[in-house]
Structure 1
Amino acid sequence: MSVVLVYITCAGREEARAIAQELVTARLAACVNILPEIESFFHWEGRLDQARETALVAKTVTAKVPDLVAAVRKKHSYSVPAILVLPVVDGFPPFLDWVRSEVAD
């Protein structure tokens, strides 16, 4: 099983905590890091916008991504949430094994 990182931005800390707790409780992610407030700049609905957001980094395996994305979409307040899956090319083998064991069926 390939380990991946899933980067997600949220409207705020409470939403981020709710999503993180759901992902770990449901064994869709072995661990989720909540990054402190970030400032984002983007074009939305034809104009330059900016927002203060909270970012999540979830550690999981490729097989869990579809269910993880579905769980995030259920709890997320954005109509188009940023959910990006990033491959892990290498890492500390015992940690990668731990991630796989935490999300195993």
Structure 2
Amino acid sequence: TFVYVPAEQFFKRGPYRIGGVYWKAKYVEYTDESSWFPSSPVIKAEVGDTILVMFVNKASWPFSIQPHGVSYGKAWEGMWYHDGLCPPFSHVIQC
């Protein structure tokens, strides 16, 4: 059965919601001559290797990184659950 939930609850500002205004951070990697160094390093590993990455959040909102092609547990995924959060301007280590 379909349960009607008023959309208003998702647009109210609260401790875990930013309201009806959404900010977006965009990663851009420049490949032309305007930048002589890469924005981020390419990380290479083999099966069984452990990769340790330190992500420094210099934004005013909580952000994390998402590695592609790497398996990891919930404790290392950097997602905000009610069981913990890395606040803005903090250091996060993902393993």
Q: TM-score, normalised by structure 2?
A: 0.27
> 1 or 2, which has the higher strand percentage?
1
> 1 or 2, which has the higher helix percentage?
1
Say which one has the larger Rg.
2
Higher relative contact order (CA 8 A, sep 6+): 1
